[in-house]
């Protein structure tokens, strides 16, 4: 089932700031740099595609995926619990 476009965008506007906040807490980045780093990541690129279902994950899980990508250049999508 495909989520309504407006609902999906609303979901992203709730999730993304929380992930960016986690980035600013764990990296020496200000909010602008953290936002740019996240928006440039593969994690965000998959998150903005509704059919990947990454929006199901918590901001912390998405942050951990972002952190793994920063460390290794890639990340593994966790299995749904």
- 66 touches 19 (CB < 8 A): yes
Distance of CA 8 to the CA centre of its chain: 14
Kindly report, residue by residue over 19-78, the tens digit of the pLDDT: 999 999 999 999 999 999 999 999 999 999 999 999 999 999 999 999 999 999 999 999
Confirm whether 20 is domain-assigned.
yes
Confirm whether 21 is domain-assigned.
yes
- Alpha carbon dihedral 6, 12, 17, 18, in 10-degree steps, equals 130
How many structural domains comprise the chain?
Answer: 1
**Domain of 22, in residue numbers:** 5-72
- 40 touches 20 (CB < 8 A): no
Confirm whether 50 is domain-assigned.
yes
Query: Would you state the pLDDT for residue 33?
Result: 98
Query: Would you state the pLDDT for residue 2?
Result: 61
Confirm whether 55 is domain-assigned.
yes
- 31 touches 24 (CB < 8 A): yes
Confirm whether 31 is domain-assigned.
yes
Confirm whether 48 is domain-assigned.
yes
Structure tokens at 62: 């998405």
């Amino acid at each position: 089932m495909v989520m309504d476009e407006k609902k999906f965008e609303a979901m992203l506007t709730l999730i993304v700031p929380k992930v960016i906040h986690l980035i600013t807490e764990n990296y020496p980045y200000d909010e602008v740099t953290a936002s740019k780093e996240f928006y440039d990541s593969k994690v965000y690129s998959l998150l903005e595609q509704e059919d990947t279902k990454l929006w199901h994950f918590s901001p912390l899980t998405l942050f951990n995926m972002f952190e793994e990508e920063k460390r290794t250049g890639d990340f593994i999508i966790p299995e749904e619990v």
